[in-house]
Amino acid sequence: MVVSVSSSADLSMTELLAGYSSGELSPVQATQEALDRAERLNPQVNAYCLLDPAGALAAARDSEQRWRRGEPIGALDGVPLSIKDLLYTTGWPTLRGSYTIDEAGPWSQDAPSVARVREQGAVLLGKTTTPELGWKGVTDSPRTGVTGNAWQPELTSGGSSGGSATAVALGMGAGSLGTDGGGSVRIPAAFSGIVAIKPTYARVPLYPASPFGTLSHVGPMTRTAADAALLLDVISAPDNRDPWALAPATRSCVAALSDGVAGLRIAVSPTLGYVSVHPEVAAAFEAAVAVFGELGASLETVDPGFADPVQEFHTLWFAGAAKSVEQVDAAGRARLDPGLAEVVEAGAGISAAEYLGAMALRNELGIRMGAFHERFPLLLTPTLPIPAFPGGVEVPPGWDGRRWTSWTPFTYPFNMTQQPAASVPCGFTADGLPIGLQIVGPRHADAAVLAAAHAFQQATTWHHRRPPLLAE
Query: Would you please indicate which residues are annotated as catalytic (active-site) residues?
Result: 84, 160, 184
How far, rounded to the nearest angstrom, does the alpha carbon of residue 22 sit from its chain's CA centroid? Answer: 31
The answer to whether residues 432 and 162 touch, using CB atoms and an 8 Å cutoff, is: no
The answer to whether residues 218 and 204 touch, using CB atoms and an 8 Å cutoff, is: yes
The verdict on whether omega for the bond into residue 106 sits within 30 degrees of 0, i.e. cis, is yes
- 3-state SS assignment for residue 132: helix
- 3-state SS assignment for residue 204: coil
Residue type, 189: A
Distances (CA, A) of 261 to 109, 257, 447: 41, 10, 12
- 3-state SS assignment for residue 42: helix
Nearest to 418 by CA among 397, 395, 439, 444: 444
The CA-based dihedral angle spanning residues 296, 301, 306, 311, taken in that order and rounded to the nearest 10 degrees: 90
Sign of CA dihedral 410, 382, 201, 364: positive
Residues ≥6 apart with Cβ < 8 Å to 342: none
Backbone torsions φ then ψ of 127, nearest 5 degrees:
-110, 140
Task: Compute the residue count for the chain.
Answer: 472
The answer to whether residues 337 and 141 touch, using CB atoms and an 8 Å cutoff, is: yes
The answer to whether residues 38 and 51 touch, using CB atoms and an 8 Å cutoff, is: yes
Give me the residues paired with residue 179 across strands. 218
Sign of CA dihedral 186, 60, 470, 139: positive
